[in-house]
Structure 1
Amino acid sequence: MLGPAAVFFAVGAEVSPSKDAVKSAPVDEVAPWNVQIVAAAPAASSDLVIGQVAVNSDNAAGGPNNIIAASRYRAVDRTLPVGLAPERGLQVKTILASRAITAAFPEIHSIGGVRPDALRWHPNGLALDVMIPNPDTPEGIALGNEIVDYVTRNASRFGMQDCIWRGNYYTPNGVQRGGGYGHYDHVHVTTTGGGYPVGDETYFR
């Protein structure tokens, strides 16, 4: 049994995977898998390594000096912890955006969510206010720009409707500049919501 197995692994290492086997996601839109494959360190002994099982190479085809470097599986936690915005009353896409922004930008220390407002976005759990530290400084302006760019790149994942920052109104289809939209101390993010959570949701990076 070990002879054919050794041949299978030796030959199989040269075969390219099917193009349809895995579809990679954009850089910021990581698919919610929690397993990744990493290369194992070369074996230090004369044993044949198959997966995580070491087999004495004297009994394997090719003799004691044929060592095959295998791959091993390592669990990777892709879940997002609770973000800065209070999540009570937020809809699922808004929660995802809050958690993702919190994880991606440790410089942010406050994100507002549900609050009374004349418009429906905040009261209905559809909007976030990402507060920018020192918003009038070059560093603060650059940070706000980065957050707008991040949310826009992930528009489909977050269900982005719009962002407002420093008088500009951003949508997935473009930006309207200088329209008197305000928001000079925080980035306003509006999502399409996706419904209210039922309690068993898991949010992934």
Structure 2
Amino acid sequence: MGRHESAKPTRRRSPFLMAVMVVPAAALLAAGGGALPVAADVPVPDGVTITGGDSSVLMVAAPQAVNMANLRKVDPPPDTLPVGRAPESGLQVKTILAARAISAEFPEILTIGGVRPDSLRWHPNGLALDVMIANYGSAEGIALGDQIVAFAMANADRFALQDCIWRDTYYTPDGGAQVGGYGHYDHVHITTKGGGYPTGAEIYTAR
């Protein structure tokens, strides 16, 4: 394939920028100190303080044993993202977040690849997605790939985005775009910084 100029990403959706967050599914509290995750609207017992960190994950610093009777179960928020097109086994949390958000925003995407053997560490370590584009050589397919790149860039902070590669162009969240030698004409490659492997207590939401 020949070299292609870097297309300016355009968005077909509304100006609304879809921000995505990860919150724990339920309070996971135990006796002893340390920072433990708690759902956002769980009432905080006396003597327990909320600490900062990633604004999308609340942490509870418990200086002493917390009485479980003081906590109530919290239902998942109504905007929970369902499992998307990517197999999630082996993916890290920010990569899952990106996969689910892209699946929800672009229902025409039918296949997203995740973990697979590779000489580079991104796919084997659950840090990368391959968003497959049907009719990738058509004007519609090219436009769809451009829109997915633009969507990923608009949500770079939430996805802990490292880069995207599409149609021989390497994109980074700081606005950089390098052309030449990158391939990726039939899919958009998305790399995140991971965020660690899921514990099973995460809820992925779109806000």
TM-score bracket relative to the smaller structure: 0.5 to 0.7
Contact persistence 2:21–2:158 (CA under 8 A): no
1:1-205 to 2 correspondences below 5 Å: 27-29=17-19, 77-205=78-206
Task: Judge conservation of contact 2:162–2:193 (CA < 8 Å) in 1.
Answer: yes
Q: Decide whether the 8 Å contact of 2:116 with 2:123 is kept in 1.
A: yes
Is the 1:168–1:175 contact (alpha carbons within 8 Å) kept by the matching residues of 2? no
C-alpha distance in 2, partners of 1:136/1:175?
24
How large is the Cα RMSD of the aligned pairs? 1.9
**SS of equivalent to 1:203:** strand
Q: Which residue in the other structure is 1:19 paired with?
A: none
1:200 counterpart letter in structure 2: A
CA distance in 2, matches of 1:108, 1:92: 20
Unaligned runs of 5+ in 2: 1-15, 24-75
**Larger gyration radius, structure 1 or structure 2:** 1
Q: How far apart in 1 are the matches of 2:197 and 2:21?
A: 22
Identical-residue share of aligned pairs (%): 65
1:167·1:180 contact (CA, 8 Å) conserved in 2?
yes
TM-superposition CA deviations, 1:76-132 (whole Å, max 9, x none): 711000011100000000000000000000110000000000000000000000000
Given residue 187 of structure 1, which amino acid in structure 2 is its aligned partner?
Answer: V
Q: Which has the higher contact order (CA 8 A, sep 6+)?
A: 2
Distance 2:161 2:154 in 1: 10
Cα shift at 1:135: 0.1
Give the TM-score taking structure 1 as reference length.
0.65
